[in-house]
Amino acid sequence: MVHVLVTLIPNPQASEAAENYKKRAVEVRDEYGAEVVLRMQAKERLLGSFEEESIRVLKFPSVDHVRGWLTDPRYLEVLPYRDQAYHKVTITVLEDL
């Protein structure tokens, strides 16, 4: 199992694009064995300049599953919606220390 950190800065003027992206992207993501571990919103910044407002931690069976999701043609089709819906998106594979 691997964990993936997804951070997002939503575009509040693109709620329709966000709904289109979420619906289609989640369907594809879940086919690759993804489980949502945490889904949170930033509440208050106490130190530093972390800009992201929305945070997800996902669990996948392997890094290959993550790569499969991100390169799946059905996921690639929804990237224009993602680009409208969010000012910034990061997807990072995490490793245990």
Contact 73, 15 (CB under 8 A): no
- pLDDT value of residue 43: 87
The reported pTM is 0.88
Q: Which tokens go with 75?
A: 């996921």
Sign of the four-CA dihedral 32, 36, 37, 39:
positive
Phi/psi at 94 (5° precision): -100, 155
Which contiguous run of DSSP H or E holds residue 56? Answer: strand 54-60
24-73 residue pLDDT tens? 999 999 999 999 999 999 888 888 877 888 999 999 999 999 999 999 99
